[in-house]
Structure 1
Amino acid sequence: MSALASPTLSARRPAVSIVEIREKTVSVASPIRNAVVDFSQMTASIVAVVTDRVRDGKPIIGYGFSSNGRYAAGGLLRERFIPRILRADPAALVDEESGNLDPFAIWKVAMQNEKPGGHGERSVAVGVLDMAIWDAVAKIEDVPLYKLLADRYRGGAYDEKVFVYAAGGYYYPGKDIAGLKDEVRSYLDRGYTQVKMKIGGVPLAEDLPRIEAAIQVLGDASRVAVDANGRFDLRAALACADAIKPYGLAWYEEPCDPLDYQLHAIVTSAYGLPMATGENLFSHQDARNLIRYGGMRPDRDWVQFDCALSYGLVDYIRTLDVLDEHGWSSRRCIPHGGHQLSLAIAAGLGLGGNESYPDVFFPFNGFADETPVEDGYIALSDAPGVGLERKSNLYETLRSLGG
C-alpha cells in the first residue's frame, strides 16, 4: 500500500494541465445536534479542478467537497493551497510516464512552506483539493476510482460491494423515544442492518432508554453502535462504559477527547468490548499516535479516519501503511463521513466498510442514485472517477461551480 510503490502506468501521452481551480462555500445546515455540535450553521467547501483534457466536447473536471462536522475551508483554499498549485510548474504536477496528474506530487506542492504538526483546518482544505484531483485522475483514465486504486495497489482486486451502516439517532427538537424507533425502522426498510446513534447529549439515565429502544427495533444489540462525539471526561466515560457493557453493542465510539490517548486507553481497557475512534484525527502521524498510545486492539476495535478531513487519499494511504506496520488489517477501517470517496476507497483498497447518512447532511450524504443498500451492503457505480455525477442532487450543487 506504500505511497512510494510504483503504480501501473498507462501508455505515454501528452501531459495533462490544470487550467483553473474553483471553490465555493455551501450550507449543510440542519436542526440536528450531537453531544457537542449544533449543526444549524454548518458549512462545507466544494471545489472544481478544471483540466485541459477534453471528452465529448467538454473539459474533464474533478470535483471535491469537505466532509461533515468541520466548517468550510474557503479562506485557506483561496489564500494558500489553490495559489500554490496554480503557480507551480505544470510539469511538477504530472507523472512523467503516464502524463496524468500525480496526486502525490500535487499534494507535495500544496503543502510547501507548511510547518509540521497542528493539522487542524488545513487538513480539510487539502482534503477537498485531493478529492477533486483523484476524481480528475480517474476520469482521465476513464475508470472508476475504486478500480484505479485496485489496479495500483491491490493487483486489480476490488470489492464489488461494501458494508455500510446507517448513522443517525441525532438529537432533534421534540424528538422522543417513539420518534427514534421510527427512524431506526426506516433504516431497516431501506436495507441497512446496523445503526449508529448519538449519546452523551442528555444524562446517561435518558440515553439508556434510547439505546434500549434501538436494540428493540433491530432485535440484536450487536447491530447498534453508540457515539459520544468526545463529550465525556474520564468519570463519565467509565460510567457510560459500565452501563452499556451488558448490552454487547457493535462498538462504543469516541467517548473522550480524540487527542487524549491515555484517557482513551484507560476506557478501552475498562470496557473490554469493541471501541471505535479516529474521525477527528487528521494525519497519519496522529493515526500512529492513536495506535501506539490509545489502547486500540487490532482484533476487535475500529478506526474511522476520514480522508476528506485528513489531507485526502494521499495521506490516507500513508495511514494505511502505519496501520499495516502495527499489525492492523485495512478491514478494521470503516471511515467516517458517509461520502462516495470513502466508498470508492473501501472497495478499491479493501476496507471494512463505510459510514452512511441516509437522512442528514444533504446533498453530500449518500451514494449513487442507482445503487440502493441491500442487506447492509451497497454495490459500486461504474461511473468514471469518484462517481459524484451519479448522485443527482449532489451533482447539481457541484455544477454551481461551472462546467
Structure 2
Amino acid sequence: MRIVEVKQGVAPIRSDIANAYIDFSAMTASIVAVTVEGDAGRATGFGFNSNGRYAQPGLLAERFVPRLLSADPAALTLPDGTLNPAGGWAAMMKNEKPGGHGERSVAVGVLDMALWDAAAKLEGKPLWRLLADRYRGGTADEAAWVYAAGGYYYPGKGIDGLLEEMKRYLGLGYSTVKMKIGGSPGVPLKDALPEDLRRIEAVLDLLDGDGSRLAVDVNGRFGLHAALAYAAALEPFGLRWYEEPLDPVDYATHATLAEHYAPPIATGENLFSMVDCRNLIRHGGLRPDRDILQFDPALSYGLVEYLRTLAMLEAHGWSPRRCVPHGGHQFALNIAVGLGLGGNESYPEVFAPFGGFADDVPVVDGRVRMPDAPGIGFEAKSALYAVFKDLAG
C-alpha cells in the first residue's frame, strides 16, 4: 500500500446559531481527500473535522500531510494485504511529543477518517462491516440509536420557535431530542435558570412529560455553584442526560457534581486523547451504570486512537454501550454500528452539509439502519459528496 496523493481544503460551516459558550458565525472545517493504491486497486478516502473546532490547514500542510505521504508502504499494509490506517497514524505522529492534545488531534483525525474510508473502499465494504469483521468477530448491530441535537440559541428565537424545531425532529422519526441551556441571549447566568426551566418544561410538554426523551447541554459554561443549582432543578425531570455542565478537564468538580446529581451526566466531547479520557474515568466520578461518554473520534486523533480509548474503558469496567459520540457525522455512525456503541448524535438541521446522514437513510423510531455503500458512505450524501468531489477534482 502507498499514499498516492493528499489534497486538503477549508469549507465554511458558519451559522447564526449559538450555544451557551460560543457562536458559529466564523466556524470552518478542514476537508481532505487521500488517494491510496495497493494490489487491490486504488481508492480515494475523504475526511473532515467535526463542528466546534476550526479547520487546521496549517498543521495539515506543515506536518501531517507530508509525513503521511512519506509513510512506509510496509507499515501501511496488513499481513493480508489490506490497508492499515494505524501505520499511517504512526507516520503522522512521528516526532510529536506526548501531551499537547487539542488542535493537532483535529488535524490527525481528519486524515485518519480518510484512511478508514479508503480502507473500506479498497475491500468493497461499508466501514461498519469492516470494523465488525476486524474487531468484533463479524458481529455488527442491526441499527444505531440516534438523537436529534438542536435547540440552539438564534436571534429572535423564543420558546415557540424552539417547539416548532422539536416538532420537526419528531416528525423526522427521532424519539429523543437535545436542547441547549445556560446561554439565553441577554440573560446573565445568575438569572438564566428560571428562563431555562420554562424552555425545558415547554419541550417536556411536547414529549408528554417523558424526561427520558430530552437531553440538555450546557457546553461547559458552568462553575460548580451554577452546575449544582441547575442539577437540583433538573433532577425531578428525569432527563436523558445533563451534558457538559462543567469545564471538560475539571475532573474533581465533575466528581463533586456526580455526588449530588443522581441521573445521568454526559461529557467527553472536548477530550482529545486516550490519556485525557482515562483521566476523566479515573478522577471524574462518573458512573459506568448510567453516565454517557461523548468522545468524538473525528476530533480526537481518529479511530486509531478511539480504539485505544475503547480498550482503556473496558479495562476500567465501562461498556462501549456507554459511548455515544459527539459530532452527528457518518464516521461515528459507522463506528457505533460496527463496534457496538450506545448510539450516535445527529444534526438534522445544522452544520450542513456535514451534519446528518445519507440521503436515503431514514430515522425510524429513533434508529438508523446502515446502507451497504462501500466506505463511510459519503457518496450517498449528495450535498457533502459535492464538496469532496470538488476537492478531489
TM-score (norm: length of structure 2): 0.96
User: Aligned match of 1:308 in 287, 298, 309?
Assistant: 298
- Residues 320-349 of structure 1 deviation map (CA, whole Å, 9 limit, x = unaligned): 011100111100110000000100000000
Distance 1:272 1:345 in 2: 29
- Residues 226-261 of structure 1 deviation map (CA, whole Å, 9 limit, x = unaligned): 000000011111111111111111100100100000
Distance 1:383 1:31 in 2: 34
TM-score (norm: length of structure 1): 0.94
User: Aligned match of 2:201 in 187, 212, 219?
Assistant: 212
Aligned to 2:6, what secondary structure does the other structure show? Answer: strand
User: Aligned match of 2:19 in 34, 40, 51?
Assistant: 34
Q: Which residue of 1 aligns with 2:30?
A: 45
| Closer/same/farther in 2, CA of residues 54 and 400 from structure 1, 3 Å limit | farther
* 2:280 is the counterpart of 1:280: no
Distance 1:104 1:399 in 2: 26
User: Aligned match of 2:242 in 252, 272, 280?
Assistant: 252
* 2:58 is the counterpart of 1:68: no
Q: Which residue of 1 aligns with 2:361?
A: 371
Distance 2:268 2:354 in 1: 20
Distance 2:213 2:42 in 1: 45
Q: Which residue of 1 aligns with 2:68?
A: 85
- Aligned-pair RMSD on alpha carbons? 1.2
Gaps of 5+ in 1: 1-15
Judge conservation of contact 1:54–1:60 (CA < 8 Å) in 2: no
Q: CA deviation at 1:51?
A: 2.1
Q: Which residue of 2 aligns with 1:137?
A: 119
Q: CA deviation at 1:222?
A: 1.2
Distance 2:265 2:182 in 1: 16
Identity across the alignment (%): 63
User: Aligned match of 2:174 in 168, 171, 192?
Assistant: 192
For residues 39-188 of structure 1, the aligned pairs below 5 Å read 39-52=24-37, 59-95=42-78, 97-188=79-170
User: Aligned match of 1:358 in 324, 330, 348?
Assistant: 348
- Residues 117-174 of structure 1 deviation map (CA, whole Å, 9 limit, x = unaligned): 1101000000000000000001001001111110111110001211000000000000
Q: CA deviation at 1:377?
A: 0.3
Distance 1:89 1:295 in 2: 42
Q: CA deviation at 1:116?
A: 0.4
* 2:328 is the counterpart of 1:338: yes
- Residues 355-396 of structure 1 deviation map (CA, whole Å, 9 limit, x = unaligned): 000000000011111111010001101001111110010000
Q: CA deviation at 1:99?
A: 2.3
Aligned to 2:221, what secondary structure does the other structure show? Answer: coil
Distance 2:258 2:364 in 1: 33
Judge conservation of contact 1:32–1:170 (CA < 8 Å) in 2: yes
Equivalent pairs, count: 385
Aligned to 2:99, what secondary structure does the other structure show? Answer: coil
Aligned to 2:225, what secondary structure does the other structure show? Answer: helix
